[in-house]
Amino acid sequence: MAMTRENLINIILAVLLLAAPLAANAFGQPFYVTLATRIVILALAATGLNLALGLGGLVSFGHAAFFGIGGYAAGILATHGFSGDPLLFGFSGTNQMLVIWLVAMVVAGLVGLLIGAISLRTSGVYFIMITLAFAQMVYYFAISWPAYGGEDGLSILVRNQFPGVNTMRPLGFFLICYAVLMAVLGLFVLIRGSRFGSALQAARQNEVRVATVGIAPFRIRLTAFAISAAITGLAGALFADLNRFVSPSMLSWHMSGELIVLIILGGAGRLFGPLAGATLFVIIEYVLGGLTERWQFFLGLILLGTVLFARGGLLGLFAGKAKHG
């Protein structure tokens, strides 16, 4: 891989994101570690969406559904693990992150497969709206289903376990999330460079041409959508552990909107777009939120400015026009 300007910026970003929490921890400011963890997890969720949206051109306005499903998978498994009540086939939950991640990804991926199978029959605005509608369906289900807290949500009293790491310490949990994000970014690079990734990007640019060379765009997109859902589900499970709490607000359409915002803020389709976007978003939220109760007003202005005047997002500003696509 040649050292392009974008790669250089990516590396700087990755190093900074690791160094800042280490420094904060050393100076006894654990809250900034928590803030960095939030950035990393949101970036992970948006990276999942970036696979569908950035590479495949599938503007999903319902990825909060997968984020929330991942979160609930973690919450439900941990609750049963804590109480010992059997969940399914005598399996009574667990507090092991690795198992929880697997379940979260499988469940979110399967739901993604189901939603994708119907939604991908449509395109354009219809696709945006039908994904939104499916997410609303899951949202209302979560609110009105009483077993796991309904609108009150579900508390995880003790953060789940990871072999060899004290997850209750902010830094330990941050390092786990950071490693997961880096692994998923690696996977993103692999997918993007693979034949599957090329076909996915080609289907975005010219559906007819792809179909004529004998590749079915539907199946490629469906696969991408399911993988994308699984990654966002994994992020949801981590988010649940970060907050030690899951609630339907993880499933709300604002969350779906925020995930898209992260990608666009950073730069759509770019490897580090979601990370750059999440960093910017959390910093804006934290700094503006500290300055004024009206921070959402200014967040709106910033977003609007980005869409209208800085189309490549943050990375576009610094690294020039994207090469892909």
Partner 1 sequence: MTVALALEQLLNGLQLGVMLFLMAAGLTLIFGVMGLINLAHGSLYMVGAFACATVAAATGSFWIGLVASLACAAAAGAIIELLVIRRLYDRDHLDQVLATFALILIFSEGTRWLFGSFPLYLDIPPLLQGAVALPGGAQYPVYRLAIIAAGALVAFGLYLLIGKTRLGMRIRAGESDREMIGALGVDIRTLYTVVFALGAALAGLAGAMVGALQSVQVGMGEPVLILAFVVIVIGGIGSIKGALLGALLVGVVDTMGRLLLPQLFGLFVPPSQAGMIGAAAASMLIYVMMALILAVKPRGLFPAAHM
Partner 2 sequence: MKKLVSAATLALSMSVSGLAFAEPVKIGLITTLSGGGAGLGVDTRDGFMLAIKQAGNSEIEVVTEDDGQKPELAVQIADKMIQSDQVDILTGIVWSNLLMAVAPSAVAQGKLYVSTNAAPAALAGANCNPLYFNAAYQNDNLHEAMGEYANKDYKKVFIMAPNYPAGKDSLTGFKRYYKGELASEVYTQVGQTDYAAEIAQIRASGADGVFAFLPGGMGIAFLKQYAQSGVEIPVMGPGFSFSQDVLPAIGDAALGAKASGQWAPDFDTDVSKKFLADFQAEYGRLPSIYAVQAYDAAQLILSAAAKADVKDTEAFRAELLKADIKSPRGDFKFNTNQHPIQDIYLTEVVKQADGMLTNKTVEKIFDDHGDAYAKDCKM
Minimal CA–CA distance to 170: which of 17, 33, 302, 78? 33
Give the Cα separation of 215 and 227 in Å (integer): 19
Establish if 141 lies at the interface with partner 2 (CB under 8 A). no
Count of other CB atoms within 10 angstroms of residue 138 = 20
Minimal CA–CA distance to 99: which of 126, 81, 117? 81
| Binding residue for partner 2, selected from 46, 77, 143, 230, defined by CB under 8 A | 143
Q: What is the per-residue binding string for partner 1 in 251-270, x denoting contact by CB under 8 A?
A: --x---x--xx--x---x--
CB of 250 to partner 2, least distance (A): 7
Q: What is the per-residue binding string for partner 1 in 119-138, x denoting contact by CB under 8 A?
A: x-xx-xxx-xxx-xxx-xx-
| Binding residue for partner 2, selected from 81, 112, 149, 233, defined by CB under 8 A | 149
Of 240 and 271, CB closest to partner 2: 240
Task: Provide the terminal-to-terminal Cα distance of the chain, rounded to the nearest Å.
Answer: 18
Helix (H) or strand (E) holding 245, with range, is strand 245-246
Token pair for 289: 């939120």
Give the Cα separation of 218 and 289 in Å (integer): 43
Count of other CB atoms within 10 angstroms of residue 164 = 6
| Binding residue for partner 1, selected from 179, 190, 301, 317, defined by CB under 8 A | 301
By rule CB under 8 A, what count of residues binds partner 1? 41
Establish if 136 lies at the interface with partner 2 (CB under 8 A). no
Give the Cα separation of 295 and 290 in Å (integer): 8
Secondary structure (3-state) at 119 = helix
Establish if 110 lies at the interface with partner 1 (CB under 8 A). no
Q: Count CA within 13 A, CB hemisphere, residue 11.
A: 7
Q: Give residues in contact with partner 1 (CB under 8 A).
A: 53, 59, 61, 118-119, 121-122, 124-126, 128-130, 132-134, 136-137, 140-141, 143-146, 253, 257, 260-261, 264, 268, 294, 296-297, 299-301, 303-304, 307-308, 311
Contact positions vs partner 2 (CB under 8 A): 29-32, 34-35, 38, 140, 143-144, 146, 149-153, 155, 157-158, 170, 239, 243-245, 247, 249-250, 289, 293-294, 296
